[in-house]
């Protein structure tokens, strides 16, 4: 049973380009969460999605960032017109239910975005 799969593992983009980060949840999980880790900081919640629905995007920057979790396929975190401040590690997690268990989340290995 594969864990949460994120790709790419590393992504380099020039300022102004678009970044697309993919997350495939664990089998049987229909709830996906994205977190961002800026350098030397802890993870911060960005968005919570269920299939075809955004449940909570309170942690998402209002501009340039969007997320989706289509009926088929992985969840996508999209950052348009990237800036240097977007350089961070982006982690995805998934759960079967709409809350964490006593084991917290299972996180993917993260995507490290570098904007040059």
Q: What residues make contact with another protein under the rule CB under 8 A?
A: 31, 33, 35, 40-45, 48, 56, 89, 91, 95, 98-100, 102-110, 112
Of 110 and 115, which CB lies nearer to another protein in the complex structure? 110
Comparing CB distances to another protein, the nearer of 59 and 74 is: 59
CB 57, CB 68: distance < 8 Å: no
| CA 89 to mean position of chain CA atoms | 9
| Closest distance to another protein from the beta carbon of 92 (Å) | 11
Quote the longest CA-to-CA distance of the chain: 41
Within 14-109, strands assigned E span: 19-24, 31-37, 43-50, 53-56, 65-68, 75-79, 88-95, 106-107
Nearer to another protein, 25 or 110 (CB): 110
**Rounded least distance, CB 110 to another protein, Å:** 5
């Amino acid at each position: 049973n594969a864990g949460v799969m994120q790709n790419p593992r590393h992504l380099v983009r020039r300022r102004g380009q678009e970044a697309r980060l993919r997350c495939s949840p664990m089998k049987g999980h229909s709830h996906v969460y994205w977190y961002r880790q800026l350098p030397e900081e802890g993870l911060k919640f960005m968005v919570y999605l269920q299939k075809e629905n955004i449940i909570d995007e309170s942690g998402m920057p209002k501009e340039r960032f969007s997320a989706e979790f289509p009926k088929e396929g992985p969840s996508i975190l999209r950052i348009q017109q990237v800036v240097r401040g977007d350089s961070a590690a982006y982690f995805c997690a998934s759960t079967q239910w709409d809350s964490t268990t006593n084991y917290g989340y299972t996180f993917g290995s993260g995507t490290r975005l570098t904007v040059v």
